[in-house]
Amino acid sequence: MTERQDSPGSRLRRLLDRQMVTLPGAFNALTAIQIERAGFEALYISGAGLSAARGLPDLGLLSLTEVVSDAATISRAVTIPALMDADTGFGSALNVMRTVEQCEAAGLAGMQLEDQELPKRCGHLPGKVLVSTSEMADKLRAACLARRDPDFLIVARTDARAVEGMEGAVKRALAYIEAGADALFPEALESAEEFRFFAERMAKEGVKVPLVANMTEFGKTPYLSAGEFEALGYRLVLFPVSALRVAAKAVEEFLHDLKRVGSQKDRLSQMQTRRELYDLLRYEDYERQSRLLEKHHEERHDDTSDR
């Protein structure tokens, strides 16, 4: 019981019971620490973000081992719960069971599965192909069976809006709830009205699980604030690639400048200082620990030389 209450999944569920939760996407542990320091109570581990950080496009190219290894590094760097983008689950329903086991072992609060075929695409791009509703439902059932912590959150994303229209998205969402999904993520809706329509249809069907909105940039979804999504009936709002885009742009501009000018002097005000970076990394704590170890070593050494 204690374990259940303290698990990352139960912490995320408790947050969701209380309020709408905004999840910025982390693409490495440093960004995750920044997300926590900025006061966010949960974070998202974006597949697009992890892929980009490894120099790859978001086409489902990373292996389970690579994604879980990055996700574990991220989730261990913070105390807030992390929800991981597991794309299509890394294979069949059987693979999905292993994915869940590894995500739980990595300390994640939950994971998101989507109903695309491989190679999967960013939900906001054309050319998506969906697996059958029953294949996705099998994966969700397998995910629920595999979890050891009943609070580990299984989010079902449907990419149906672009392929089968809003009615298709509603139909699939209902089947995914039936299969055991804990939250629904209708991907790439194109207007506030569509978000409202989806939420109202779920309510009408008696579906009470949290709904996820993906507020990614340069996609199909218009720019709505977390508060606006909340008013439309959404409990989790993702900003999956925003921090990466901001960081990548800043680095690009800086490097062009450095190449041109040959100095970084005029850009210092845009840089995190040494002190600020060390503060994020708790440098002092490690130094203190190192001094303590040194002291222990010296004491032991004195002891033995006394004999």
> How far apart are alpha carbons 79 and 250 in whole angstroms?
28
| List of residues contacting ligand MIC (CB under 6 A) | 25, 46-49, 58, 85, 122-124, 214, 216, 219, 240-241
Closer of 7 and 120 to ligand MIC (Cβ)? 120
Smallest distance, Å, CB 157 to ligand MIC?
8
Helix (H, G, I), strand (E, B) or coil at 241: coil
Closer of 10 and 24 to ligand MIC (Cβ)? 24
**Residue 303 to residues 160, 290, 291, 296, 307, Cα–Cα distance (Å):** 71, 20, 18, 11, 7
| Cα 74–chain centre separation | 10
Closer of 84 and 137 to ligand MIC (Cβ)? 84
Strand order in the sheet with 110-114: 183-186, 153-158, 110-114, 82-85, 43-45, 21-26, 236-239, 212-214
Closer of 56 and 280 to ligand MIC (Cβ)? 56
Closer of 25 and 89 to ligand MIC (Cβ)? 25
Q: Give the other-Cβ count within 10 Å of 258's Cβ.
A: 12
Smallest distance, Å, CB 217 to ligand MIC?
7
Smallest distance, Å, CB 298 to ligand MIC?
50
Smallest distance, Å, CB 219 to ligand MIC?
6
Question: What are phi and psi for residue 220, nearest 5 degrees?
Answer: -85, -25
Radius of gyration for the alpha carbons in the chain, expressed in angstroms and rounded: 22
Lookup: tokens for 98? 């292993």
Closer of 80 and 155 to ligand MIC (Cβ)? 155
| Cα 138–chain centre separation | 23
> How far apart are alpha carbons 260 and 85 in whole angstroms?
39
Closer of 144 and 212 to ligand MIC (Cβ)? 212
Label the pairing between strands 153-158 and 110-114: parallel
Smallest distance, Å, CB 212 to ligand MIC?
10
Smallest distance, Å, CB 60 to ligand MIC?
10
Closer of 86 and 106 to ligand MIC (Cβ)? 86
Dihedral sign of CA atoms 195, 200, 201, 203 in order: positive
> How far apart are alpha carbons 116 and 139 in whole angstroms?
12
> How far apart are alpha carbons 20 and 237 in whole angstroms?
8
Smallest distance, Å, CB 297 to ligand MIC?
46
**Peptide bond between residue 8 and the one before it cis (omega within 30 degrees of 0):** no
**C-beta of residue 33 within 8 angstroms of C-beta of residue 78:** yes
- Read off the amino acid at residue 60: G
Smallest distance, Å, CB 47 to ligand MIC?
4
